[in-house]
Structure 1
Amino acid sequence: MVGRKDARAAPANDSFADASGKGAAPDASVQATDLFRQSLADAEQLLSHAAHSGRFPLEPVGAKEGVKGWVIDAILNARAAVDGGKPIPKETAAAFWAAFADLSRITSPVTAASLELSNKSPIKLLKAFVVVLSSFVIAFSIFISVKESIAKQVSQLITEQNEAALKLWSQVQYVRNQAAAPALPAEDSGATATERRAYAAAALRSSETAARVTPDELFAGVVEFSRKNNWLRETATQLNNYFNFGVLVDIAPVVFNETHPDKLTRINVRPEIIRSASDVINEAFHQVLVYQHIRNFAQAVQQKTIISTAVVSNFLPAIYALLGAALYGFRHYAKLVEQKAYTKSSANSARYFIALIAGTVVGLFGTLFLQNSPLPPLAIAFLVGYAVEAFFSRLDGFIERFRGNESAPGAPAAEIPASQAAKPA
């Protein structure tokens, strides 16, 4: 039985010596408490792990004085005493605690609690968190990408329609001038050459700056202009309704019916109302007025889009920082589970809160200190979440440099003895 003289050659664990230095009384005994029973079960788990993983130091076969024999005997003796249902000899209990301490050092960082947690696949919750977070990031990235694409398309359509409106206006002026110009006198009418030149100048005024088109060509241009007006309105309305949550723009100015504020009741060209060149000109004016309302609406939608995107973009780095922290957690926890050393700790969840704070800082103040960075803010936020320790070390270094720049109080000027001051240079 361990605890006699032969056991004292084991590692220095004189836990079974009383305060006076004398051995415990042989008839002294203690009751097995719940803590003792639980610790004994934990010790048996660790003993099984140490035996399966070869944690014990290599010793000669049959050695009685080694760590292996000492630990095994102490645990087996404690188990036999507990199962016997009688009070446990004090030296047996003391030997158990000493052996448990040695066994814990041998299996460190593995503990009975980490063995139990590691066998339960503790990263299931982390897997679910990463799946949800990654799905959100992917969906949100697609949402932002589509939103920016539609906003870019709206800007391009506005630019094209601005140029088309100027061209249409020039063509309208030409057709109107042509319709209002007097007919040239016939050669046999008796008109002088000067009079004929004056008629020609009146008929072709503005011809140098206006494109020469026929009424039919102008009508085709008006139809195309109307088609793009409709396209611009539909695109801006889509951007307004589906991508600008909470900051919608009133669509009443681009609803062309009897309730329109300026009485613009239609957006499409109706061929049956076109009977003459003046009808084509009037329709062109109508389409330009329609375009002005659509352009104002589209530009208001663009401003709301810029504001909403800027607000959301400030929080996106925090999400990427959480994703970086989750990647580090997977890598770290998988290693601990493989080593059977995983344990629950408040530091594990604290890391995610730290990453969230650091990502928020990058999102809010990244434009101030990341202007010359080769990486975009989202990539920096991801790296910050993955390596929060490096982020805080940089902050500590910055604070130390800031402190070092504080000017130290100047040293007092040395006093010159009067005898030296009197000497000539």
Structure 2
Amino acid sequence: MKLRMIGCSHHRSGVAVRERLAFTPDQAALALEGWRVERPSNEAVLLSTCNRVEFYVASGEDDLPPCPRLMARHLADAHHVPVEEVHSELVSLRDEEVVDHLFHVAASLDSMVLGEPQILAQVKEAYDLAQKLGVAGPMTHGCFQSALRVGRRVASETALHRCRVSIPSVAIADFARRIFERFDDKRVLVVGAGEMADETLRYLTDHGAKHITIVNRDPLRAAQLASQWKGESASFSDLLDQAVRADMIISTTGAPQTVVTLEQFREKIAPRRRQRPLFILDLAMPRDFDPRIADEIGVYLYSIDDLRLACDANRSARERELPLAERIIDEEREKFFVDARHRISAPVIARLRSGLEEPKELELDRLFNKLPELDSDARDEVRRFADRLVNKMLHAPMESLRDESKSGSPRKLLDALSRLFQLKE
């Protein structure tokens, strides 16, 4: 197994670093295609969310393992960032560590909000993109499919997801409530129309929000989401005017750069608001609002990292479900490694079977030539006997390989079988 992961997350990197390395879907596609050109023998998947940027790479048994330094440089070069400026923020994992980490990510045990429901879909979307581009392969397929199974099992077999808790829900309950006692009389502006926007609207409407406006670069998507939540949509070009009217702004776009600068806020928004309180929840990565806007009078601006303390409290309340989730991960991890190690033996088993099939057919032909009086039924019975004999001869080495795969790599046993039976590549 030759797996590598390099990336950063909310655990050790601040939002300023993560937003420098964050990828939109289009940027991720370009980065993956560039990697395929540079390293055509490697498989790759790029996962980029508001809390993490992680680059997963796999190579075949006969290839050199992926180079973490080269992977880090590829991430940095995609954003024209000197790798020296971000390398110390990146975590590098290998082989079993990669699998264990990905399983925890898919199960939402590595999320800022323990049990948040969005990460599983994000992992699937990252793998689907790699598969669509032809950058995924057998190793990443097995790893990511197992990770998705882990996520689904944790969601269905534990109570981590019973009460839907996500970054938007924590933000509304723990932050917006500090500014506003009620939401039914507030004007809410949602910038962006993706899953995070939809999730945020779910909690806002549950808390009474009625006056909702959605702006998005795709006007059709904005209109569809507005209709779903009984709000209205507006043109993205009207964003600054809509911000003047709003009491709350929830921003969740995938824009690669700032959507509202400090200068725009001071010149186009602040003078017309007359210091009326404005709550801004910037859930985008990179951030949509210039963080310096937080220093303006009457503005309460929160970003992903500001949710950390509230999310830690959420984690404490849910930790009693962790042992069961960890057991599920242990089961799936063991199954994945056994299957992966057993797959290594498949080519040797195929050559071993082929090596027995050829002399079997030669001996059958010789026998049938000596016994021409045998009818077709008798010949079929003899052939079945020969097949059973070959299968019985293969049974012992195959069982030995399976047993060896359960405890570790069967490489030594495979080499011994290859030499003993003179199996050729």
Greater fraction of residues in helix: 1
Whether TM exceeds 0.5 here: the answer is no
Greater fraction of residues in strand: 2
TM-score (norm 1): 0.22
